[in-house]
Amino acid sequence: MDFHSQRSDRWCAALHKAVLGIVTAMLAACGNAGAPGSAATASSGASASGTGAPSAGASASTSRTDTSANVGSAAHSDGDASARDFARTGTVKSSVNGGTRELVNPDSNTVVFLYYELAHLPLPIETWVEEDSRVKYAPAPDKAPHRVSVRAELQSAAASVKGVGALRLTMNANLSDYDPSYGEFTVRALSPSSVVSFDALGQKVQVNFKNGRTAQIWRVPPAEAQGIRDKIGYASNVEMDVLLRIVDVLPGPGGGTIVTEILEYDLRETQRGVALAHVEPTSR
């Protein structure tokens, strides 16, 4: 009986040990199962901390984006700033050369000199001197003194356009008939495809209008349109004085293009000089 009792105790002890082993293994398995939970938490924490550290990166990236946007905005708003300065002080400043001087109805020679100044191109003075009729057709003994005087004139004219940033031109408005569906006239002389040409010194320089698409629109309430029609009689009887800010220059063979922004224009009936409107384009 004692033998059996002892044997039973050993068997119970072995069973107990086996059960403990199984429980321990199960607990270990549970612990390992919890490890991914920990890893997930760590991953989540890394993500949070990563959100915090990259947050500075994201912030820096946002900052860079904002800075780029600001730079773009500054470049784009240059024209708007100039327009505000003009409205406040009456001064027009070119974005090409910083010039604030204004040329009023310049002749073709002057515009050619202005083009060369804006484009920073060397003046072919000696070529122009030789092509001048006073030199070209002068008797041989008289050519030298004529060269001196013509060269001096050209150099003086070239110097006179320094610091010019705006043009004020008088031209026919080429006004359309009134469009009642849109409530507007179109000043076709200012359309994006329109140019003013200046030919001199073997060069052809054109002036075009960067904001012509919007500036060409002259809005008039329907109730006032007939009165304006009565004043002008024919659309061809309308001329205008337009103020242009120089914003770019595009060199080309045998001449080039001076790009301008329309700041304001005054329309009047040609025959009697009756004022029709003062227009300042709002969209540039």
Per-residue pLDDT of the chain (284 residues; tens, 9 = 90+): 444 444 445 544 555 555 455 545 454 444 444 433 433 333 333 333 333 333 333 333 333 223 233 333 333 445 555 555 655 557 889 999 899 999 999 999 999 999 999 999 999 999 999 999 999 999 999 999 999 999 999 999 999 999 999 999 999 999 999 999 999 999 999 999 999 999 999 999 999 999 999 999 999 999 999 999 999 987 778 999 999 999 999 999 999 999 999 999 999 999 899 999 999 997 54
Sign of CA dihedral 82, 86, 92, 93: negative
pLDDT of residue 58: 33
pLDDT of residue 220: 96
What gap in Å lies between CA 272 and CA 266, rounded to an integer? 15
pLDDT of residue 83: 56
pLDDT of residue 48: 33
For 82, residues 6+ apart whose C-beta sits below 8 A from its C-beta are 92, 93, 95, 245, 261
pLDDT of residue 84: 57
Going from the C-alpha of 141 to that of each of 125, 153, 167, the distances in angstroms are 21, 20, 42
- Helix (H, G, I), strand (E, B), or coil: what is residue 170? strand
Pairing of strands 203-209, 255-269: parallel
Pairing of strands 238-252, 255-269: antiparallel
pLDDT of residue 106: 97
pLDDT of residue 233: 84
Q: What is the pTM of this model?
A: 0.69
Residues in the chain, total: 284
| Residue 25: its H or E element | helix 2-76
